[in-house]
């Protein structure tokens, strides 16, 4: 195994071009577990911790851009948390303080686990994943980026550089069920984003399918029931039916962490609660 | 690195009854303490173990050719390379050092390799070609009990079958309640992973092993048997132990490490990963218990009948003793004359199970406490009242016929717990980390229901059923300094500080040096069964008293007094009938007094076929009241407070005691709401800390603990063992609180979210 | 490969296997065995140390990634033979039993107080959520951290 520690994106991209299939590493909180278990035996590792531009973010009224190497700890509070409360909530549920100091959105995207806490937020916010290669930058909408369990559409010479998010106006939140009160992998999670600009309510589900699931049919139904260009009505019946429809779009399985039935139930419950929270 | 140390404190004397500081505290907080994983040797090799991926399979062939070709591989050993006894075990020697023709559980060792680097070991293990023929997996206890099921081991599929019949087993109560209870498989999950370093003697005549264990001498005996050596050729030194909780009572890597070192003639270190640790040690028995309680109209228990099944997995370990503990504690801390009980410990292709804190009583208590709550409902009594009406007292007779002659303040434990103020009603904001669901921000205060539940338990102390249990200690006094020697495994519980406190108190010295913990003295027995304060404490106390007698004789001789009128007061020897006062440091100047003491508890008996006999030594009692907040719709639980009053005899070190109580409660909480090794047809699904969940600081509840001090005349220091009781009745208390909050008849632990919120 | 980093104030240059974990490097190359390994999955926190002043779990970081960094381990806390106040607080308040989690717990606790000098009990619990202890039930640990904070350190 060889390890490279580039200091600029250009260096990183060049190294990746020379070593296609190299393992990209920032916090290492997920990848290194795979390495420790011998599930992953990378020949080449490109460490991105010293690439300072990846650790930057910009917030403008038109666009929020978050470097792939920004650690979760910096999303929990401060300008990013104010701009994207759902991301802050998701970041807070990631691992522990040590993990949040190291873990990044780039890592979540690179691994593409359906239980990745940052991913439902990116899905609900219609984020675009910016991939850098010698050919330039390719922006891929999140829904096209994640294509299966731990599979994404990144080509082997592409570096996940950042995500771009159009600011929304309205309530957004993330909630996740785990069996422990902290430091736990998601059994089911929901991100709900209300955007008055686009008059939409968007919901994305984690850990209940091979990919993050956008509940598009339920979103479309809700659009026929409420006027999302203004405050959402605190209508319990709407919340219940919306939640039922969202849960119907989940595709959960039984495993050692939980059961499909419970996961669907949790999605329904969390969706109803988040909708009602959004109306307060 | 230093594991034994001296503490001298002059400002306040750290005698019995004070929160004396641990002598290992300095090293442990500075990273200087040498855990067994920290040892290295010149010219050392690394060892690793090849384990079965299948729960039950015939080994068709083994081909290590490719592994031998890997540069750096020094040796590879298999079952045929075990020079002595091919099997080991604490009670029955039925577990192969390496599987020979058949593997009976997932993770069973088949071979071990020694090489220059852990990575070489890993590659070598991967290069050993084994062809398996998978066999049907016996995973069900009822099938194991069924005599028509083919045995998966020559010793059969039942480790033990025991019956208890007492009084009038046909009596019928006015009120009868019935329930079936399931307990999941819990892991001890100590943090300090298994590790050992073996040094071969020149010519392979003997071996020295540095290892983290609970019982040096028993390890030595089993290792020597397997090595085909005399026990004195095997020397064990206690490497720093990162927690134990029962998981280090059985052999894990000991024999493998010694074999590799003897085979290569070089020091060999073996160190488990967390994943391997899950396969390398035994777990708490999962089980199913069915009970029917009969009571009269006033709520007085008339009879307990039913059965208990514990799954011991593939090999015996301590299953037969766990089962004895289980069935003899199904009575709970309640007076009752009549019983008809039956219990089985089964052999299956599930992971082997053995000792874990509570040792069979955790399972029994979960069932009998569920029953007491049902009885309370049936009688219209409060959970407290039904327990008080039946609380056991000194002099009551157990189902086994044994009279409880220990101090038995059961009613007092319940009353004092009941008097602890309940926590304030929740005043949470939405998404507060204190709500059930914690950092997941799942719950709003309106979704929360609060519940209160009770658990009370009885726990036997020390070993049972005729086991010749003893502990040895040596005390040397010279120039005002006491030196103590014992083989008592310090696993974190704090025996090292207790031993110093005893010596300071008895001898009037301040400086107490602790010699290395090894096999250069007689056995101290195991650090388990809540026994070391009583047993090794008794040995240290006895040795110090013998030394003091001789010191008194010296002083009496010099001053022409009767030694019987001398006493230790603070750090002085005083004449109780006259003016003499001599500092111990002065009186012992130039002297070297050494005494060894062997402490034994009174003998016990085996049970007869009807479960009658004085099988236990003594008992301790505890009450727990749990307050939980439950998100009833999502099935998420936050344990808010545990109130407890524990029968401790005497408080010897308040903060150490509190540490045992709070730590035990956290483990009991784990079994109540999150900890379970998930096994599917013999296959372990979650062998990692990612998926086997231990309580975090955010899950740990407030604990309000009251020690009940009633001097125990049977105990050398008047003090009972305190290690196990904290983790026993806290689990049923929490589950009862969840039932109280949800109104659901939950009968299994750990309680999973779906058990709370989905239809059954 | 060659790496150079500052460990406990001392510049260390070493030739290492690229796949070496930071915790392995500390334990095996530098014989700093105070940092323990408890899980390999960055769950338990026993391997917590400070990387450029921030608590991280060293079982999921390659030593190579720490090239050029400043590292403090449990062995680097005592100064001039005097224990760090957090170490002293853990000792005085019985914040340990077996001691295996202690080095990581102390490192996480110091990091916590650096961000929040006067935490509440709940804030201490939150700050230590990434460090498992199997012995104590956390209470004496939390008391230790609060005592250290109160001591003005």
Task: Report the mean per-residue pLDDT for chain B.
Answer: 96
Note whether residue B158 is domain-resident. no
What pLDDT score does B6 carry? Answer: 46
Q: Are residues B583 and B561 part of one domain?
A: yes
Contact C64 A45 (CB under 8 A): yes
Using the 3D structure, point to which of B261, B280, B299 is the last residue of a domain.
B280
Q: Closest to A181 (Cβ–Cβ): which among B273, B439, B635?
A: B439
First-last CA distance in chain A:
54
Q: Which residues make beta-bridge pairs with B181?
A: B289
Taking CA–CA distances from A100, the nearest residue in chain C reads: C56
Q: What's the half-sphere exposure (Cβ side, CA atoms, 13 Å) at A193?
A: 30
**pLDDT digit string (tens) for C56-90?**
999 999 999 999 999 999 999 999 989 999 999 99
What Rg, from alpha-carbon coordinates, does chain A have? Answer: 19
Contact with chain B for residue A178, Cβ under 8 A = yes
Find residues 266-285 of chain B whose CB sits inside 8 Å of chain A. Answer: 273, 275
User: Are B556 and B515 contained in the same domain?
Assistant: yes
Host domain of residue B76 = 38-135+193-241+248-280
Q: Do B620 and B530 touch, CB atoms closer than 8 A?
A: yes
Residues B537 and B428 in one domain: no
Interface check A269 vs B, CB under 8 A: yes
- C103 in contact with A, Cβ within 8 Å: no
Residues B532 and B595 in one domain: yes
Closest CA of chain C from A4, distance in Å: 8
Closest CA to B528 of B662, B664, B358, B324: B358
Average pLDDT over residues B46-65: 98
Residues 611-640 of B with CB under 8 A from A: 633-636, 638
Percent of chain A with pLDDT over 70: 100
Confidence of residue B12 (pLDDT cuts 50, 70, 90): confident
How much is the pLDDT for B428? 73
**Count of other CB atoms within 10 angstroms of residue B370:** 26
- Closest Cβ opposite residue C43 in set A1, A101, A183: A183
What residue in B sits closest to C78 (Cα-Cα)? B30
pLDDT tens, position by position, B170-188? 999 999 999 999 999 999 9
Q: Provide the sign of the torsion angle of the four alpha carbons B359, B361, B366, B367, taken in this order.
A: positive
Same domain, B725 and B685: yes
**Where are the CATH 3.30.465.10 domain residues in chain A?**
2-111+127-165
Residue B566 lies in a domain: yes
Q: Can you list the domains of chain C with their CATH numbers?
A: 2-75 (3.10.20.30), 85-150 (1.10.150.120)
The answer to whether C30 contacts chain B (CB < 8 Å) is no
CB distance B758–A266 less than 8 Å?
A: no
Residue B10 reports pLDDT greater than 60: no
Distance CA A129, CA A99 (A): 22
Decide if A279 contacts B446 (C-beta within 8 A). Answer: no
Going by DSSP bridges, is the β-strand pair C70-72/C2-7 parallel, antiparallel, or unpaired?
parallel
**How many C-beta atoms surround the C-beta of residue B606 within 10 A?**
12
Domain boundary among B579, B600, B621: B600
- Select from B455, B453, B457, B383 the least CA-distant residue to B739: B453
**Helix, strand, coil abundance in chain C, percent, nearest 5:** 40, 20, 45
* A75, A77, A83, A87 alpha-carbon torsion, rounded to 10°: 40
**Average pLDDT of the residues of chain A:** 96
C21 touching chain B per CB within 8 A: no
Shared domain check, B72 and B212 = yes
User: To which residue do tokens 């200091």 refer?
Assistant: A7
- Confidence band for C103, pLDDT divided at 50, 70 and 90: very high
| Assigned domain for B46 exists | yes
C-beta separation of A70 from C29 below 8 A? no
- Distance (Å, whole) CA A110 – CA A119: 11
B35 → closest Cβ in C36, C96, C140 = C36
Structure tokens at A189: 């999670």
Distance CA A42, CA B707 (A): 56
State how far the Cα of B460 lies from the Cα of B714, in Å rounded to an integer: 13
Chain B residues within 8 A of A36 when measuring between CB atoms: 273
Name every residue whose Cβ is closer than 8 Å to that of residue A54 and which is 6 or more positions away in sequence. A9, A26, A48, A67, A68, A69, A70, A106, A161, A162
Contact (Cβ atoms closer than 8 angstroms) between residue B702 and residue B662: no
- Which pLDDT score is estimated for B9? 44
Give yes or no: residues B624 and B751 share one domain. Answer: yes
Contacts of B398 (CB under 8 A, 6+ apart): B328, B331, B404
Asked if B691 is an interface residue toward chain C (Cβ–Cβ < 8 A), one would say no
Tell me, yes or no, whether B522 and B409 share the same domain: no
> C-alpha distances in angstroms, B447 versus A271, B235, B629, B631?
14, 60, 10, 6
Please tell me if residue B193 touches chain A, with a CB cutoff of 8 Å: no
Does any domain span residue B32? no
Count of C-beta atoms within a 10 Å radius of residue B126: 13
* Distance, first Cα to last Cα, chain B: 55
Q: Average the pLDDT over B712-736 and give the result.
A: 97
Q: Is residue B318 part of a domain?
A: yes
Domain boundary among B229, B263, B280: B280
Task: Examine the pLDDT at B431 and tell me if it is beyond 70.
Answer: no
Q: Which residue of A has its CA nearest to C131?
A: A96
Q: Report whether A25 contacts A46 (CB < 8 A).
A: yes
Tokens of B106: 């997932």
Whether B396 and B358 share a structural domain: yes
Which 3 state secondary structure label does DSSP give B140?
A: coil
Q: Is B440 on the interface with C (CB under 8 A)?
A: no
* Closest residue to A95, CB basis, from C111, C126, C130: C130
- Given a cut of 80, whether residue B239 has pLDDT beyond it is yes
| CATH number attached to the domain at A2-111+127-165 | 3.30.465.10
| Domain assignment present for B712 | yes
Mutation for C interface: B1, B29, B491, B663, most C CBs within 10 A = B29
Neighbours of B (≥3 Cβ pairs closer than 8 A)?
A, C
Domain count within chain B? 3
Q: Are residues B263 and B293 in the same domain?
A: no
> CB contact, 8 Å: C130 with chain A?
yes
Residue of B271, B279, B239 whose CA lies nearest to B121 = B271
Count how many residues are written for chain B: 760
B119: nearest CA partner in chain A? A38
Pick from B283, B251, B286: nearest CA to B355 = B283
What CATH number labels A172-278?
3.30.390.50
Q: For C119-123, what is the mean pLDDT?
A: 94
d(C-alpha A128, C-alpha A67), whole Å = 12
The structure tokens listed for B214 are 């609970």
Nearest alpha-carbon partner for A214 in A152, A124, A87, A144: A124
Label residue B358 left, alpha or beta by phi (over 0 means left) and psi (-120 to 50 means alpha): left
**Span B272-297, pLDDT tens digits:** 999 999 999 999 999 999 999 999 99
Claim to verify: residue B235 and residue B306 sit in the same structural domain: no
The residue among B441, B443, B360, B383 whose CA lies nearest residue B623 is: B383
pLDDT surpassing 90 at residue B4:
no
Contact B369, B454 (CB under 8 A): yes
- pLDDT confidence tier of residue C153, bands split at 50, 70 and 90: very low
For residue B531, what is the domain's CATH number?
Answer: 3.30.365.10
- Whether B752 maps to a domain, the answer reads yes
pLDDT, average across residues B334-355: 98
Closest alpha carbon within chain B to A186: B440
Q: How far apart are CA C47 and CA C27, in angstroms?
A: 10
**Is residue B270 domain-shared with residue B293, that is, in the same domain?**
no
Chain A touched by C107 (CB under 8 Å)? no
Nearest-CB residue to B434 (from C122, C124, C136): C122
Tokens coding A225: 């029931």
* C76 close contact with B: CB closer than 8 A: no
Say whether residue C79 is in contact with chain B using an 8 A CB cutoff.
no
Tell me, yes or no, whether B16 lies in a domain: no
Q: Are B436 and B458 in contact (CB under 8 A)?
A: no
Which chains have 3+ CB pairs within 8 A of C? A, B
pLDDT the model gives residue B233: 98
Provide the CATH number for the domain around residue B54: 3.90.1170.50
Residue C25 Cα, gap to closest chain A Cα (Å) = 14
Whether C43 contacts chain A with CB within 8 A: yes
């Amino acid at each position: 195994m060889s390890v490279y520690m580039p200091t600029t994106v250009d260096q990183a991209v060049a190294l990746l071009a020379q070593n296609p299939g190299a393992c990209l590493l920032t916090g290492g909180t997920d990848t290194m577990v795979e390495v420790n278990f011998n599930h992953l035996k990378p020949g080449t590792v490109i460490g991105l911790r010293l690439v300072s531009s990846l650790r930057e973010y910009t917030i403008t009224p038109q666009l929020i851009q978050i470097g792939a190497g920004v650690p979760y700890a910096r999303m929990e509070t401060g300008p990013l948390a104010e701009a994207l409360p759902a991301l802050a909530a998701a970041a807070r549920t990631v691992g522990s303080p040590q993990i949040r100091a190291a873990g990044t959105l780039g890592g979540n995207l690179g691994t593409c686990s359906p239980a990745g806490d940052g991913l439902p937020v990116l899905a609900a916010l219609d984020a675009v994943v910016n991939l850098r290669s010698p050919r330039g930058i390719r922006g891929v909408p999140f829904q096209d980026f994640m294509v299966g369990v731990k599979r994404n559409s990144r080509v082997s010479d592409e570096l996940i550089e950042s995500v771009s998010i159009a600011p929304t106006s309205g309530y957004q939140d993330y909630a996740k069920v785990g069996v422990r009160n902290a430091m736990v992998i998601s059994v089911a999670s929901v991100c709900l984003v209300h955007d008055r600009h686009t008059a939409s309510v968007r919901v994305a589900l984690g850990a209940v399918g091979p990919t993050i699931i956008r509940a598009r049919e339920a979103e479309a139904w809700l659009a026929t029931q409420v006027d999302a260009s203004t405050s959402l009505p605190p209508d319990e019946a709407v919340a219940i039916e919306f939640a039922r429809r969202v849960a119907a779009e989940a595709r959960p399985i039984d495993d050692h962490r939980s059961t499909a039935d419970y996961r669907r139930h949790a999605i329904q419950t969390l969706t109803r609660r988040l909708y009602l929270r959004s109306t307060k | 690195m230093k594991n034994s140390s001296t503490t001298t404190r002059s400002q306040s004397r750290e005698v019995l009854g004070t929160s004396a500081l641990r002598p290992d505290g300095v090293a442990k907080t500075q990273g200087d303490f040498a855990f067994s994983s920290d040892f290295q040797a010149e010219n050392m090799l690394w060892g690793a173990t090849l384990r079965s991926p299948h729960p039950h399979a015939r080994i068709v062939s083994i081909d290590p050719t490719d592994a031998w070709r890997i540069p750096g591989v020094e040796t590879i050993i298999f079952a045929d390379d075990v020079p002595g006894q091919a099997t080991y075990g604490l009670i029955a020697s039925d577990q192969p050092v390496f599987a020979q023709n058949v593997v009976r559980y997932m993770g069973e060792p088949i071979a071990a390799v020694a090489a220059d680097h852990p990575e070489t070991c890993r590659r070598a293990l991967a290069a050993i070609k084994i062809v398996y023929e998978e066999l049907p997996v016996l995973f069900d206890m009822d099938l194991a009990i069924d005599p028509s099921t083919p045995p998966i081991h020559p010793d059969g599929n039942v480790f033990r079958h025991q019956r208890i019949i007492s009084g009038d087993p046909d009596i019928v109560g006015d009120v009868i309640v019935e329930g079936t209870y399931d307990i999941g498989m819990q892991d001890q999950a100590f943090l300090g992973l298994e590790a050992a370093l073996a040094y071969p003697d020149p010519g392979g005549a003997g071996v020295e092993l540095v290892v983290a264990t609970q019982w040096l001498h028993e390890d030595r005996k089993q290792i020597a048997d397997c090595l085909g050596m005399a026990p004195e050729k095997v020397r064990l030194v206690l490497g720093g132990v990162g927690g134990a909780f029962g998981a280090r009572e059985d052999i894990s890597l000991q024999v493998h490490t010694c074999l590799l070192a003897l085979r290569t003639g070089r020091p060999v270190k073996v160190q488990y990963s967390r994943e391997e640790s899950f396969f390398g040690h035994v777990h708490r028995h999962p089980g199913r218990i069915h009970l029917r309680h009969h009571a009269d109209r006033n709520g007085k228990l008339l009879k307990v009948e039913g059965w208990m099944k514990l799954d011991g997995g593939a090999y015996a370990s301590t299953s037969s003793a766990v089962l004895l503990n289980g069935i003899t504690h199904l009575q709970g801390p309640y007076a009752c004359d009549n019983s008809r009980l039956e219990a089985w410990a089964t052999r299956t292709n599930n992971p082997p199970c053995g000792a874990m804190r509570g040792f069979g009583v955790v399972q029994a208590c979960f069932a009998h406490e569920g029953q007491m709550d049902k009885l309370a409902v049936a009688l219209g009594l409060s959970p407290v009242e039904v327990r008080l009406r039946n609380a056991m007292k000194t002099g009551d007779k157990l189902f086994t016929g044994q009279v409880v002659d220990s101090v038995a303040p059961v009613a007092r434990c319940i009353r004092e717990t009941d008097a602890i103020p309940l926590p304030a009603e929740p005043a949470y904001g939405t998404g507060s980390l204190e709500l059930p669901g914690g950092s997941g921000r799942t719950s709003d205060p309106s979704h929360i229901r609060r519940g209160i539940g009770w658990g009370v338990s009885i726990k036997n102390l020390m070993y049972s059923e005729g086991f010749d249990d003893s502990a040895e200690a040596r005390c040397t006094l010279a120039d005002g300094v006491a030196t103590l020697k014992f083989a008592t495994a310090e696993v974190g519980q704090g025996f090292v500080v207790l031993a110093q406190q005893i010596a300071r108190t008895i001898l009037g010295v301040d400086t107490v040096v602790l010699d290395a913990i090894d096999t250069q003295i007689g056995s101290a027995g195991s650090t388990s069964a809540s026994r070391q304060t009583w047993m090794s404490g008794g040995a240290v106390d006895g040795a110090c008293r013998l030394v003091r007698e001789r010191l008194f004789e010296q002083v009496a001789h010099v001053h022409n007094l009767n030694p019987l009128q001398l006493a230790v007061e603070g750090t002085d020897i005083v004449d109780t009938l006259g003016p003499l006062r001599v500092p111990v440091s002065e009186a012992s100047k130039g002297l070297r007094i050494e005494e060894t003491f062997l402490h034994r508890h009174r003998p016990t008996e085996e049970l007869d076929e009807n479960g009658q006999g004085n099988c236990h030594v003594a008992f301790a009692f505890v009450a727990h009241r749990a307050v939980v907040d439950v998100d009833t719709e999502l099935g998420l639980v936050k344990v808010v407070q545990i109130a407890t009053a524990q029968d401790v005899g005497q408080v010897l070190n308040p903060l150490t005691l509190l540490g045992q109580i709070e730590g035990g409660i956290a483990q009991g909480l784990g079994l109540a709401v999150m900890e379970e090794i998930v096994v599917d047809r013999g296959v372990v699904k979650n062998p990692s800390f990612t998926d086997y969940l231990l309580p975090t600081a955010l899950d740990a509840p407030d604990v309000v603990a009251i020690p009940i001090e009633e001097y125990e005349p049977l105990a050398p220091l008047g003090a009972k063992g305190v290690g196990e009781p904290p983790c026993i009745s806290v689990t049923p208390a929490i589950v009862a609180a969840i039932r109280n909050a949800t109104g659901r008849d939950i009968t299994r632990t750990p309680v999973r979210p779906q058990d709370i919120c989905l239809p059954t | 490969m060659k790496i150079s980093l500052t460990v406990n104030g001392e510049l260390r240059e070493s030739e290492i296997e690229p796949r070496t974990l930071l915790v392995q490097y500390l334990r095996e190359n530098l014989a700093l065995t105070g940092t323990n390994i408890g899980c390999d999955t960055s769950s338990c926190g026993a391997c917590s140390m400070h990387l450029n002043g921030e608590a991280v779990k060293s079982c999921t970081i390659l030593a190579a990634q720490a090239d050029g960094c400043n590292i403090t381990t449990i062995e680097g806390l005592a100064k001039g033979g005097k224990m760090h106040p957090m170490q002293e607080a853990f000792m005085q308040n019985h914040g340990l039993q077996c001691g295996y989690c202690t080095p990581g717990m102390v490192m996480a606790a110091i990091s916590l107080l650096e961000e929040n000098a006067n935490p509440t009990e709940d804030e201490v619990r939150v700050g230590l959520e990434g460090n498992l202890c199997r012995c104590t039930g956390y209470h004496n640990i939390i008391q230790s951290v609060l005592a250290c904070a109160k001591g003005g350190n």
